[in-house]
Structure 1
Amino acid sequence: MPRRIAIRTTSRLAAFVLSAFAICLAGAPAAEAASVGGDGTPIPNFFDPNRRLDRPAPGSIGSIRFTTTDDFPPFSFSGPDGQPAGFNVDLARAICVELAVPCTIQVRPFDGLLDTVAAGRVDAAIAGIAISPASRAKIEFSDVYLRPAARFVARRGEAPAAISPEGLTGKTIAVVKGSAHEAYLAAFFPKAERTLFDKAADMEAALKAGKADLAFGDGGQLAFWLQSATAGGCCGFAGGPYLDPGFFGEGLAIALPPGRTDLRQAINWALDSLSDKGALAELYLRYFPVGYF
């Protein structure tokens, strides 16, 4: 069964990646380059501005049959009219406009989607299929267009002065039990006290109630909680984003059947072009008004 990328908290304990230690520990920006929106929201950018890809020849791509799911908000869900909606859906449509080709977007269950792509029954899946050695053995992927980032959250006015292994010594950190975030804390913040919860909602409620000094989890998920009525403006991000593909996954990319080099190159060109034009930044701000970078 294919595994969905850990944009949401998962129970998989990922491998320890020493090469990312310095970047992750310092809370460095999670993208190679970033810009800032009009309201000061950092906007991630994972595309090299100096890279120049060849535009696909007219007619080289006839059409694209995209597939997605309807249970992965805000990336893909059923809109009020019952039609597919979300970040991924809008991105798929933008890619087709950029390439000037017709496309369809069909909703399918996530289970079995990897095999559907591998068999060529669709041209592309934009559904959060995790990039891994197992999935790469069956299918290909486009360039990554968005990465998950882990974040600390604290009550407003109560964030520790230093978000670092020493600075969090003895601090109580709420985290989901058995998650990659728990494993990350154990590896990099061993002097902090971990308080474990079965669900992210319980972790968030404990922080709001003052039963923990901080919470640590998926940045995207926490961003939605921070802007919710449930949070009630109690809390905010503390420190910077943490990226470690060994713990949190390589990121979101479009899954393609094997051998579709033409389509992969065309989609990569479209993604690069959309990034240059600011369209990816606009999508990010639309679906993540409280940015998690």
Structure 2
Amino acid sequence: MRQARQRKEAFQRILLRTVLAGALAWTATVPLPALAQQAQNNASGVPMFWDPQRRLERPDTSALRSLRIITDDEYPPFGFTAADGLLTGFNVDLARAICDELKVSCTIQARRFDTILDTLDKNEADAAIASIAITPRNLARADFTQPYYRTPARFVTRTGTVLDDPRPETLAGKVIGVQARTAHEAYLQKFFSAAEIKSYDSALALRSALKRDEVPVIFGDGVSLALWLNGSDAEGCCAFRGGPFLESSYFGEGVGIAVKRDNAPMRRILDFALARLAQRGVYAELYLKYFPIGFF
């Protein structure tokens, strides 16, 4: 029962953290190019947020001996406690990889999510890798690295449905399912107004409707949809169609590593480490380990 409740809360918190927090502050003047399926992906489908050709200048790390990193252990697969009692997950493995890249010792501890930024502010940790969205509200409390992942919007259909290029003209007159009162619903209403938009009260109801073939295509948060497609609940029913939609005024600026406000040296060190992990292929390995069906 506890595990089922945690899985349910995990899906809800994905939407809360990285879609609704700041994403609903959209304007009605988003240009049409926002419809483009935007992502710098490599051939494997792994998102790339760093220029692989950029020559990296290592910041001064001579005084850095260790890193105190905090995370969240109730957010699988990003952070959770395994059966052996050890912290694991995408965020946790990324934290360890950063410490290895910088050749420093690493202390990783779990904190309740709503206390993480306070912990940074009290100098009780150097960095937080906990799927914290880069929003104006969070930027008022902490500084952030460049995003290490973003939460794109994606279209999903049943596996037998052909939909190679989901765009306003190809979906005109078609029924599209979406969760009510979300940035995804607002986006469809703005750009896919020629479609018939059918709203559902919850992400679970939306996915269930697609699985039962009550609606031919749905639009929603790529991360939670990827977790569903990767899991047993989907039973192989469905698949992503088209590419990711990343319009930041609807779907947010992404997720970064948080550090204490005005700690520019630490932020630069972590940005360097992230870029190095991307160049060396470590980031791609971690992404594919946890998201074999990626959200991009």
- TM-score, with length taken from structure 1: 0.89
What secondary structure does 1:267 align onto? helix
d(CA) in 2 for partners of 1:69, 1:14:
26
Question: How many equivalent residue pairs?
Answer: 282
1: CA distance between counterparts of 2:58 and 2:164?
49
Aligned mates of 1:222, 1:207 — CA distance in 2: 12
Could you say if the C-alpha distance between residues 207 and 112 of structure 1 is closer, same or farther in structure 2, counting changes exceeding 3 Å?
same
1:222 and 2:233 matched: no
Q: Distance in 1 between matches of 2:134 and 2:123?
A: 18
Query: Alpha carbons of 1:258 and 1:209: their partners in 2 closer, same or farther (altered >3 Å)?
Result: same
**Aligned equivalents of 1:223, 1:161: Cα separation in 2:** 18
Pair 8,214 (structure 1): closer, same or farther in 2 beyond 3 Å: farther
Partner of residue 26 from structure 1, selected from 24, 36, 40: 36
Quick one: which of 141, 146, 149 aligns to 1:143? 146
Equivalent residue, structure 2, for 1:95: 98
1: CA distance between counterparts of 2:129 and 2:145?
10
SS at match of 1:134: helix
Give the counterpart letter for 2:106 in structure 1. Answer: C
Distance 2:115 2:50 in 1: 30
1:141 Cα deviation (Å)?
0.7
Q: Which residue identity lines up with residue 16 of structure 1 in the other structure?
A: T
In structure 1, distance between residues paired with 2:259 and 2:31: 28
Using a 3 Å threshold, how does the CA distance of structure 1 residues 8 and 251 change in structure 2: closer, same or farther?
closer
Checking the alignment, whether the CA contact within 8 Å between 2:70 and 2:109 is kept in structure 1 is yes
The 1:102/1:156 distance shift into structure 2, 3 A limit, reads same
**Unmatched segments (≥5 aa) in structure 1:** none
**Aligned ranges 1:103-122 → 2 under 5 Å:** 103-122=106-125
- Between the aligned partners of 1:138 and 1:292, the Cα distance in structure 2 is 28
Does 2:39 match 1:35? no
Question: Is 1:65–1:123's contact at 8 Å kept on the other side of the alignment?
Answer: yes
Deviates more, 1:173-182 or 1:280-289: 173-182
Which of 195, 199, 203 is matched with 2:202 structurally? 199
Let me know the Cα RMSD of the aligned residues. Answer: 2.1
**Range with bigger deviation, 71-80 or 96-105:** 71-80
After the TM superposition, which residues 55-134 of structure 1 pair with which residues of structure 2 at under 5 Å, given as runs?
A: 55-134=58-137
CA contact (8 A) 2:18 2:252 kept: no
2:271 pairs with 1:283: no
Counterpart AA for 1:179: T
Q: Quick one: distance in 2 between partners of 1:26 and 1:57?
A: 39
Greater helix share, structure number: 2
Match of 2:254 among 241, 251, 258: 251
Sequence identity (%): 46
Matched residues in 2 for 1:36 and 1:185: separation? 29
Whether 2:17 is the aligned partner of 1:14: answer no
Q: 1:158-206 CA deviation, whole Å, 9 max, x = no partner?
A: 2346411122112111111111111111111112122222221211110
Change (3 A) 1:121 1:161: closer
The one-letter amino acid of 1:178's match is R
Aligned-partner Cα distance in 1 for 2:70–2:206: 33
| Contact 1:17-1:244 within 8 A present in 2 as well | no
Instruction: Please state whether the residue corresponding to 1:104 is helix, strand or coil.
Output: strand
- Determine helix, strand or coil for the equivalent of 2:162: coil
TM-score, structure 2 as length reference: 0.88
